[in-house]
């Protein structure tokens, strides 16, 4: 399984009163990394939407293992994982660069919704994700 990675740096406003990244902010990090992963595979999220194919998240499982603080540099990884004929998964990690500590592990399950509002993953899309 090939792993894609995007580097980030924590911005001050992403931290809560405890001085750590707010748990909800991690969803943004993960989503941005998935969009970059799709672009790297030749899949344009916005173009799919224009074609009435909407990628949606149907389940998120996140295990928080440590905290990031302001200024921390970190990497978000993405690995595609087939789930079923109409669902796909992304195994993701957030890794602090200073010590290679895994801060978060997640599994995001998604599907594609067609113009009739039904789950349907286009063949070309599935082939590109698995490449």
**What percent of the chain stands above pLDDT 90?**
71
Total number of domains in the chain: 1
Catalytic residue list: 16
- Would you state the pLDDT for residue 120? 84
* pLDDT tens string 44-75: 888 888 888 899 999 999 999 999 999 999 99
Q: In 41-117, where does DSSP find H-type helix?
A: 45-50
Q: Give the domain CATH number at 62.
A: 3.10.129.10
Q: Would you place residue 126 in the very low, low, confident or very high pLDDT band (cuts 50, 70, 90)?
A: confident
Is residue 97 a contact partner of residue 120, using CB atoms and an 8 Å limit?
Answer: no
Its domain, for residue 119, covers: 4-129
What is the side-by-side order of every strand in the sheet holding 54-64? 4-9, 73-82, 88-96, 102-113, 54-64
Would you call 84 exposed, middle or buried from its count of C-beta atoms within 10 A (0-12, 13-18, 19+)?
exposed
């Amino acid at each position: 399984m090939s792993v894609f990675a995007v580097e980030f740096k924590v911005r001050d406003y992403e931290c809560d009163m405890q001085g750590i990244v707010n748990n909800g902010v991690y969803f943004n990090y993960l989503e941005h990394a998935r969009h970059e992963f799709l672009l790297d595979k030749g899949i344009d999220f916005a173009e799919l939407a224009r074609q009435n194919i909407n990628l949606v998240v149907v389940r998120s499982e996140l295990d928080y293992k440590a905290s990031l603080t302001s200024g921390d540099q970190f990497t978000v990884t993405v690995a595609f994982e087939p789930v079923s004929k109409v669902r796909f998964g992304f195994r993701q990690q957030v890794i602090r660069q200073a010590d290679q500590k895994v801060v978060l592990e997640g599994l995001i399950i998604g599907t594609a919704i067609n113009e009739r509002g039904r789950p349907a993953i286009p063949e070309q899309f599935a082939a590109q994700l698995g490449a």
